[in-house]
A and B are shown apart, each in its own frame.
Chain A
Amino acid sequence: MADLPHKTTPITLDTFLRGLWKENPVFVMLLGLCPALAVTNTTFNALGMGLATLFVLVCSSALVSLLRDYIPKQVRIASYIVIIATFVTIVDYGIHAISLELYNALGAFIQLIVANCVILGRAESYASKNRVTKSIINAAGMGFGFTFALLCLGSVREILGSGTLLGYPLFGESFQPWVVMVLPPGGFFVIGTWLLLFAWLKERKQRKITRQEEAARATG
């Protein structure tokens, strides 16, 4: 930070937290929806996908940020894609070696992390303009935000659709699983309901603020 003290803003907790909540890639920006809906029929798959994406996101952001002065502007998107694809290949072979079960469950979606717009978006709008540590922290925030969103979807879908959480049964024998929740329509319904919940909370907060302002004006 010594070389450009006036240009770089310091790293704050906000660099990390922004991706987790305020700019959550799935719930706020609606990016990376394909993996968020396709592989979240169980919590375990959701966790695996989230962590794989986190790894690719952090590594590619670090490399893009390191190379940001050397990549010519005209071919930057192609270069970013090659960098991302390299890390995706690493993850692909890694998961294949670690857990065959997870590899089969995620299917082509591991390789499709390349086309996840969250990662390219980070590379283009953040890592190419910021220092390495800052990019890594920001990417980690985004990655955890993505994992968090996937877990939100995966756990609800697994609990309602199969009556289990991480494979452990939650309810008694009499539980009738809500099968549609693990099928494709369930994915849309669950994410729609989460967005609905967030919109409702935001609206309620807004109403509270306006009421307080009105009360303050009335007394003052």
Chain B
Amino acid sequence: MKEYALILISTVLVNNFVLVKFLGLCPFMGVSRKLETAVGMGLATTFVLTLSSVCSFLINEYLLIPLDLTFLRTIAFILVIAVVVQFTEVVLHKTSPVLYQVLGIFLPLITTNCAVLGVALLNVQEQHGFVESALYGFGAASGFSLVLVLFAAVRERVTVSDVPEPFQGNAIALITAGLMSMAFMGFAGLVAS
């Protein structure tokens, strides 16, 4: 039980996927202009990431390794992710139109979110089991959502402030992200890894 809690804390705070591991920066910069879209993106990513983390673990463990096809890992994982994204889109569309309206536009973007592929690959690299993979995926996604929402809130505030002209736009956003990353470094040492 204890190691599961450690995985969660370490992926959400200590080894945050966005600010410490630099995964998923494109959506981090792209959809953080408004708080609402950030929340939507966070929810959609959490769902897809957890599911694809589990699926890619199963594919790797029961298909690629027994058949000695590990050189196809990258191709297999990216296809799994694309399928999971497509599947989520279809299911949401049929079952919950409300949720589909909120999350629908973010789903296609998730395929090229490198955090999703990153989690799948890191699961293999760190030899996680089934439950660990699921938790690792969920923790990574929660960390991503947390930082995305925090950053969106900061950015909304920055847009109404009087920023010097050359700083405006992406320069100030990236420096803000740097400051947040520094704050998250304060969590280092919380979990000995």
Contacts and interface: CB of A to CB of B under 8 A. Distances in A.
B22 A115 contact: no
B181 A108 contact: no
Contact of A115 (B73, B114, B177): B114
Interface string B143-182: 0000000000000000000000111111111110111011
Interface in B1-59: 19-26, 29-30
Contacts of A93: 71
A81 B79 contact: yes
A199 B19 contact: no
A116 B82 CA distance: 15
A114 B168 CA distance: 31
Contact of A34 (B25, B75, B181): B25
A114 B78 CA distance: 8
Contact of B121 (A32, A108, A183, A186): A108
Contacts of A116: 114
A192 B24 contact: no
Nearest to B25: A33
Most chain A beta carbons < 10 A, residue from B73, B79, B166: B166
B101 interface: no
A214 interface: no
The interface residues of chain A, by DSSP majority, are classed as helix
Contact of B78 (A37, A85, A187, A199): A85
A40 B25 CA distance: 15
A112 B75 contact: no
Contacts of A54: none
Interface string A114-131: 111100100000000000
A120 to B, nearest CB: 6
A109 B24 CA distance: 12
A180 B75 CA distance: 36
B122 interface: yes
B125 interface: yes
A171 interface: no
Contacts of B25: 33-34, 37
Interface in B69-103: 71-75, 78-79, 82
B169 A199 contact: yes
Given A82-B75, A108-B125, A188-B178, A34 B168 contact: no
A112 B117 contact: yes
Identify the 8 closest CB pairs spanning chains A and B, nearest first. A188-B178, A192-B174, A38-B22, A115-B114, A192-B175, A200-B166, A33-B25, A85-B75
11 contacts: A37-B22, A38-B22, A77-B82, A81-B111, A82-B75, A86-B75, A111-B73, A116-B114, A117-B26, A188-B174, A195-B171
